[in-house]
Amino acid sequence: MTEIWLVRHGQTEYNVQDRVQGMANSALTARGVADAGALGRGLSKAAVHFDAAFASDLTRAADTARHALDAAGQAGLALTLDAGLREENYGKFEGQLTDDFAQAVFGLPDFTQALLDHRLSLAQIADGTYAANHGGHGAEDNTMVQQRFDNAMRGIVAAAPEQNVLVVAHGTVVLMWLALLGFDTHGQEMLHNCSVTRVSWDGARFAVGAFDDLGYVVAGRASADARDAGATQSRGGAAVSSGESAAAHTAAAHTAKPAAAAAHPAHG
């Protein structure tokens, strides 16, 4: 059995700015870096050891993988970059504000609200975007995205049989692939940054286990909080980080839960 920890990348600048981010790239934010590290610590705390690691070749995914592996104590594990794991290509709409994109393509002024109201599905977004690009600008429809990612995942399990595998990719493409597998997300059109979806491969089919799980990130944050609290005590109660108390530091770490709005489809 091949066991896959399928991860969405950490928060990026475009996530914060509400910009369309498929093939377009933007850097991880400080929170994105911190969450990737927390993910790695949480995986290590759970005694998860990877035999192989893969990531989309878009830098936000590759950087998330490297930060997580480093924090997990597996910085020496080779990371294979795979263009097949990239996010959906939105063509000429890449980098636009998501509300401008929704208005131009679907005549809807508020993209996030349209998702929350279930007025748009991931398939509708992909197909509508492809049509609005007139099949150009590298844009992809729903079937194209699903097949590309499925081919990449099948290549991974062929390359890493009977192994524990880390795969870092993107929110929309992962959800679209899960739909191809027949997995019921119960209408969820968003994945949280640095969440884990567990997938197994038995040589014939994929099976989905835990979905959009933030447990490893939470455990990794707690581990960092405990370490920082111990360091504070060893300094005789000195303040943490330029006068910030240990209690305030802990509270700040635990209020950094990924927001649903920061994880909607066009954010990649």
Task: Give mean pLDDT in consecutive 10-residue pieces for the chain, a chain of 268 residues.
Answer: 98 97 96 98 98 98 98 98 98 98 97 91 97 95 98 98 98 98 92 98 97 98 73 48 30 35 63
Indicate the DSSP class of residue 238: P
Output the pTM of the full model.
0.87
Q: What is the pLDDT of residue 238?
A: 40
Instruction: List % helix, strand, coil for the chain (3-state, nearest 5).
Output: 50, 15, 35
Residues contacting 159, CB < 8 A, separation 6+:
52, 80
Task: Write the CB contacts of 134 (distance below 8 Å, at least 6 apart in sequence).
Answer: none
Spatial contact of 224 and 41, defined as CB atoms under 8 Å apart: yes
Rounded Cα gap, residues 14 and 110, in angstroms:
17
Residue type, 161: P
Structure tokens belonging to residue 81: 């970059």
- Name the pairing type of β-strands 196-201 and 206-208: antiparallel
pLDDT for res 235: 53
CB 199 within 8 A of CB 1: no
Residue 136 has what pLDDT? 93
Q: Kindly state the tokens that stand for 91.
A: 């063509």
Specify the pLDDT at position 229: 64
Predicted pLDDT of residue 243: 32
d(CA 245, CA 256): 17
pLDDT score recorded for residue 126: 97
pLDDT of residue 233: 55
Written as six digits, the tokens of 181 are: 């597998």
